[in-house]
Amino acid sequence: MKTKATSQLVPGDIVAQPVSDGKGNVLVHAGAEITDALIRVLSRRGVEEVEIKEGDEAEQEEQESRRLELSHSDPVTKQKIEEMQERLNLGFHRHEGNVTMAMLYKTTVDYLTAKIASGER
Amino acid sequence: MAVDPAKIENMLTNVEELPTLPSIIGRLIELLNDERSQAKQIAELISSDQALSAKVLKIVNSPLYGVSKKIGTISQAVVILGYSTVRSVVLSTSVIETFTRKDIHEGYFNASEFWTHAIGTAAASRAFARTYEVGRVDDAFTAGLLHGVGLLVLDQYLPDVMAQIQELVELEDLPLVEAEEEVMGMNHARVAARLLEEWKLPEIIVKAVANHIHVDNCPDDPQLASCVHLGDIFTRALGYGSAGEPTVPAINSAALMALGIDHTAFPVLIEPVDRDIQKASVLLEFARAGASA
């Protein structure tokens, strides 16, 4: 975990500690992903710095969250999620190091995992 | 073994059996492209074909267009949704029907998988055009639907060329487009554009299809091609149908630049794009009906 000035935040950073305004209202929960819109909101509300997860830490927590999601799923859901990940691993195997494709991969895995887990797919 | 590109062009020019749209569609395209034509003329022509009318009404009343009140006649459809939307709907049903006719043999591509991808790309391209206010949302839909028809032409009329391409994709793990360019010196987008020119589709649609792979090739008007480029890639990532290869091509940064976005927008985009793809499922019924006829 490290402290970053709001002006230094970049989209994709993961919030490590809840961010509150002066009145104790939580503006951003821990685990939220920083976006351009969120940076503007934080600046407007006078938030000067935010605790951000380190790269490895964020990745590990994300993997742990996926593992937990899988371990709580029924076997059919679990199999669907594994098949989806296998399909995407094959589909994206040429794009190692490509930031844009890494974001599309992560976005798709997260979205489809949630969709399968909720029984929509 | 590489094939001379001139030979491919020549073959495409001389293939007498290149798929043709029903004659009523040719007349409709002429009318819809003519600014002087009137809604009444278009409605009368579509209404003269009962089967086509029924399909158009089913689609315009589906969640794809989200009209609040049921549209009961073709005249109403033209007035309420406009020429551009009606052209898109008529073309969509006709193209799907043309390529799923009984006499079209099934080659490398499974019709249902192919059209699931094409219809998904159409809806996703339209979603990008709408979200980024590119305008021409119906042209984005049509171009998205047609972006892969070059593959069907190759599969149907140049099966030996297609076999060579697929060998490179499957055995040497080459991206489809690279395999096409290695074997025939052009990609399937060029083949599709050749067919769409033959069908006299508006130039804007032909250009979007022709450039949807190498978006950076059309710096003067890259937005529509960019919508199709991203629509194609998002549809593949979401797993709708088959685009002829298991891998997802890399996003061309020129497409993101043309729409003024970067990759941080993806988490916000994916759900509405997926929702629009699901709304287009009404078109899949026609593809499946044609394939099983």
* In chain B, domain spans: 5-10+19-292
Residues of A in contact with B270 (CB under 8 A): 107-108, 111
Compare all CA atoms of chain B with the CA of A36 and give the residue at the minimum distance: B264
Among B238, B247, B253, the residue with its CB nearest the CB of A93 is: B247
CA gap A114, A110 in Å, rounded: 6
Pick out chain A residues at pLDDT < 70. Answer: 22-26, 29, 55-73
Residues of A in contact with B248 (CB under 8 A): 91-92, 95, 101, 104
Q: What is the ipTM of this complex?
A: 0.88
Residues A31, A60 within the same domain? no
Report residue B148's pLDDT band, with 50, 70 and 90 as the boundaries.
very high
Higher pLDDT, B265 or B135: B265
Examine the fold and report which residue of A53, A73, A92 is the final residue of a domain before the chain moves on: A53
Contact B183, B3 (CB under 8 A): yes
Residues A62, A105 within the same domain? yes
Which residues, including other chains, have CB under 8 Å from residue B278's CB and lie 6 or more apart?
Answer: none
Which pLDDT does position B143 carry in this prediction? 95
Q: How far does CA B172 lie from the centroid of its chain? A: 28
Which pLDDT does position B103 carry in this prediction? 60
Residues A48, A91 within the same domain? no
Residues A60, A102 within the same domain? yes
Instruction: Report the domain count for chain A.
Output: 2
Residues 170-199 of B with CB under 8 A from A: 175
Higher pLDDT, B80 or B21: B80
The stretch B46-66 carries a mean pLDDT of 89
Which pLDDT does position A67 carry in this prediction? 61
Residues A60, A113 within the same domain? yes
Residues A41, A65 within the same domain? no
Which pLDDT does position B291 carry in this prediction? 59
Higher pLDDT, B7 or B190: B190
The stretch B137-147 carries a mean pLDDT of 94
Domain span including residue A101:
56-117
Examine the fold and report which residue of A53, A74, A90 is the final residue of a domain before the chain moves on: A53
The answer to whether domain B5-10+19-292 has CATH 1.10.3210.10 is yes
Residues A27, A73 within the same domain? no
Whole-number mean pLDDT of chain B? 87
The CATH number linked to A35 is 3.90.105.10
Residues A39, A76 within the same domain? no
Which pLDDT does position A100 carry in this prediction? 95
Which pLDDT does position B71 carry in this prediction? 93
Residues A7, A19 within the same domain? yes
Structure tokens at B253: 């940064």
